[in-house]
Structure 1
Amino acid sequence: MPKICILTAAPDYFEDLGPARQTYRRLLGDAITFRHWTDPGDLSGFDLVLPLLVWGYQRDCDRWFALLDQLEQRQIKLANPVPVLRWNSDKAYLLELEKSGVAVVPTMISAALTAEALAEAAQTFDTDQLVIKPPISGGADGTYRLQKGEPLPERVAGKEMLIQPFQPAIAQEGEYSLFYFGGTFSHAILKRPAKGDFRVQEFLGGSESGTDCPESAQALAVQARQSAERILATGTLLYARVDMLRDADGQFRLMELELIEPSLFFEHAADGGALFATSVETA
């Protein structure tokens, strides 16, 4: 096993990283090192650095991008590579994937969100319910569902935001997540929000279960991952989580392509994460 460092959230991050650390120690061995991404120190002595637990990076974007620049300049080996992490940090990548032919949840970007921009999006998408979120976000930070006529939240007024039509399937069926390690499919889960909510994160009351996903979902996941690899001119990504749901016509549409710090839900993998460990060992 190579000498590995996993970058983690800042010391004051609100979620408990203990269970995730235990899982990665089980898979990669007790010799792995954990360092906070906000102050990682010299990483040149590691064979591989994995940013798998950099939860909360979106709360200090300048520091995050500065770190990526430093790691690139020092030629630190990261998986996934720095250009992938930089590209995947901003959800404007959805528009690039859409241009390459990937079916994504319809998305508009407002450079400075206003009530007028929301009204225009509602008309364009022909809907009375919108979802807005920052382009650099995680854990549903700054994400809102707005009904027609609701006031624009002050917290996001005038800020750059993504605007999408609300997808009822999130509450009716749930959100599928498909996991790939070294380009090979590992497992899939179905995530559901708490009753009355639309956010699927566990700390917000969401739940998940293992699932056998339809072939059309797997086809979209492969297309999205391979399109990203072509756009970025990179090799096969070491890890990828592909989040999607069905639209009103039953077609699967990409919600997010998670290539930085996705929860990987190894408890739902038939091999317990062995494929992931092998992919890391041979990276």
Structure 2
Amino acid sequence: MPKICILTAAPDYFEDLGPARATYQRLLGEDISFRHWTDSGDLAEYDLVLPLLVWGYQRDCLRWFAFLDQLELQKTEIANPVSVLRWNSDKSYLLELEKAGVAVVPTLISEALTASDIAEAAQRFGTDQLVTKPPISGGADGTFRLEKDQPLPEEIAGTAMLIQPFQPSIAQEGEYSLFYFDGQFSHAILKRPAKGDFRVQEFLGGSESGTDCPAGAQNLAVQARQAAEQILGTETLLYARVDMLRDPDGHFRLMELELIEPSLFFEHAADQGAAFGRAVPARLT
């Protein structure tokens, strides 16, 4: 039997990984291993390593990128590949996808955020409502909704940040996530923030439900995934979650392409994740 290891968050991570571990054991077998990415040891014994639960890696960036270098040096069989993980760790990849013709939420990057950067972005985007987030982030860490003339929060002033126009549809309709395993569509969900918020994470009061794909959503998802594969020169990605919403004109725009440790919401898949359970061993052959 092939040996599979799933990398998990550091031991002190605040979320309970128990349900996710149980789900992956159901899909991939009770004998799969789990190791903390921060103390993974020698991974050479495994036929495939999956970084599916490395939640919180963005809180220790230097260690994370050093770990990726180590995986690459040791030629660890990991999916998605190290080149993908490194590229996808920094959300400036959105600009590369935009250059490749993918419709993304308009994005500017400031290397050291100032009030004048916010004013410039407001003018560029034609809105006084903006969202800032760190280029390396997850779980809404460091993400703020700002008015054009609002003082910058201390924790982000002078730091590298992405600046985007706030998208009202996040509160009105929600954010769609589409899931692909070995290039095949599996399922979709609609995530909604708590009333008065714009962040959709469950621990912040957000919720999700299964949904059919609206017209145009799959076209954007496939375009984004294939553009990433072409940019990186890699084979079809083993797994991908594509997050998107509608802009004020009603067109879908990519928010994020999640290729490292996305929650995959198998409970909303018609097959409860069986397609993923088949895709992983198929990759080994």
Aligned AA for 2:107?
T
Alignment of 1:46-195 (within 5 A): 46-195=46-195
Report deviation, 1:148: 2.6
Aligned AA for 1:35?
R
User: Matched residue of 2:185: which SS?
Assistant: strand
Percent identity reads 80
For residues 196-225 of structure 1, the C-alpha deviation after alignment (integer angstroms, 9 at most, x for no partner) is 000000000000000001230000000000
Query: Corresponding residue for 1:244?
Result: 244
1:27 maps onto 2:27 in alignment: yes
1:39 maps onto 2:39 in alignment: yes
Report deviation, 1:147: 1.5
Say whether the 8 Å CA contact 2:5–2:32 is kept in structure 1.
Answer: yes
Report deviation, 1:150: 1.1
Normalising by structure 1, what TM-score? 0.99
Say whether the 8 Å CA contact 2:119–2:149 is kept in structure 1.
Answer: no
- Unaligned residue ranges in structure 2 (runs of 5+): none
Report deviation, 1:274: 0.6
2:281 & 2:275 partners in 1: Cα distance? 10
1:133 & 1:178 partners in 2: Cα distance? 22
Aligned AA for 2:198?
F
Say whether the 8 Å CA contact 2:49–2:78 is kept in structure 1.
Answer: yes
Query: Corresponding residue for 2:207?
Result: 207
After superposition, the CA RMSD in angstroms is 0.5
- Runs of 4+ in structure 1 off by over 4 angstroms are none
User: Matched residue of 1:241: which SS?
Assistant: strand
User: Matched residue of 2:70: which SS?
Assistant: helix
1:16 & 1:66 partners in 2: Cα distance? 26
1:253 maps onto 2:261 in alignment: no
1:12 maps onto 2:7 in alignment: no
Aligned AA for 2:75?
Q
User: Matched residue of 2:38: which SS?
Assistant: coil
For residues 41-72 of structure 1, the C-alpha deviation after alignment (integer angstroms, 9 at most, x for no partner) is 00000000000000000000000000000000
For residues 125-151 of structure 1, the C-alpha deviation after alignment (integer angstroms, 9 at most, x for no partner) is 000100000000000000000023211
For residues 249-281 of structure 1, the C-alpha deviation after alignment (integer angstroms, 9 at most, x for no partner) is 000000000000000000000011010011101
1:156 & 1:258 partners in 2: Cα distance? 23
User: Matched residue of 1:282: which SS?
Assistant: helix
For residues 166-214 of structure 1, the C-alpha deviation after alignment (integer angstroms, 9 at most, x for no partner) is 0000000000000000000000000000000000000000000000012
How many residue pairs are counted as aligned between the two chains?
A: 283
For residues 220-252 of structure 1, the C-alpha deviation after alignment (integer angstroms, 9 at most, x for no partner) is 000000000000000000000000000000000
Alignment of 1:195-234 (within 5 A): 195-234=195-234
Report deviation, 1:37: 0.4
